[in-house]
Amino acid sequence: MNAKEWTKSIIRGFMCLSGIIGNHWLGFRSLPKSRSQLRTNDILFVNLALSNLITNYLVDLPDTLDFVKRWPMGKMYCGAFNFCSNLSETSSIFTTLFITVFWHQKLVGSLKRGGAPAQMDNVRLVAALLVGSWIAAVVFSLPQFFFVSAAMWNESLVDCVEYFPSQEARQIYETLYLTLANVVPIVGIVVASIQIAVTLLQNQKRIKNTTRAGTRGGNPPVAEDHRRAAGGNAMTSATNTTPPEFSSKVTQDRSISSSGNQVRAAKSVVAVATVFLICWLIHLLLSITSTIYQSTVVDEMTSYIGAVYTCIIPYIYLHGVKKFNCSSRD
């Protein structure tokens, strides 16, 4: 193995290990301690981690080890390899869409409804959406299992190649997959993320104006804007025996804390959507290029882009929902 191959193996190995650690971390930190603590956000994070781990273990790891060249049943392995790749990618896209829509409802939709609960706080609804997304992912991935072969060169396996019954069949499949499993959910992610970003900017400006007005008037700013940013979900519990001044202070502190946590999580959703969109656009351009001009460099770059997403995203979410430490479950 020459220096170039060693460098590629080290980079891929690092990305694969980073993805495995990050997605395991996100999944385990999102598992509820009891059924009563089961929340929509945690279900979505666990599902995203599971989707990405399929890529980490069944796509990135074998690709890093260059396993296909040593597999005695090349065609079967290629079918499973492509199936897992598409399954994980499709499920990950849909889960990212659900997470973005969930936080859009928590931050944007709840403001419009006067603090009403988000529809996706319903665990059964989210479970049904996830089951539907996995069914769609399996349907879109099955052709990758059956219409594939292992290219041979000097009696050794060198690559997994797709062989559809006809060029028309390939075009129909790729068009449907690109439209329904990529373009439609990504448009939803972008639109929801833009509205979240606009709401965050407006809320930040409103808080600054409230702070300045309170300072000029000699009174501390009220936590109303923080409560609105939290979608009306700020905790306001206080006993009747608590003095009014102390009760007000506790309520305000809890409101600000709840608001800050939700705004922080919403920012992480926007950051994920940005990274996701960049990776997807680059991946799409490389995929189009590979259909016009066959190149091993383009294929390797396409593979790297997919690995980048799965190894970065869990850390952004872990930071956004404060799950990096192991002592608290926010």
E strands in 131-173 = 148-153, 156-162
Superfamily of domain 3-320: Rhodopsin 7-helix transmembrane proteins (1.20.1070.10)
- Per-domain boundaries in the chain: 3-320
Q: Is 151 helix (H, G, I), strand (E, B) or coil?
A: strand
* pTM for the structure as a whole: 0.79
pLDDT in tens, the chain (330 residues): 567 777 777 888 888 899 999 999 999 999 988 877 888 989 999 999 999 999 999 888 887 776 555 555 567 777 888 899 899 999 999 999 999 999 898 888 766 666 667 788 899 999 999 999 999 999 999 988 887 765 554 445 556 777 788 888 888 988 899 899 988 999 999 999 999 998 888 877 887 777 777 666 655 544 444 454 444 443 334 334 445 554 444 444 444 555 667 777 788 888 888 888 888 888 778 777 766 766 667 777 777 787 788 888 899 988 887 665 554 444
HSE of 274 in the Cβ direction (CA atoms, 13 Å)?
11
Closest CA to 44 of 140, 127, 124, 117: 127
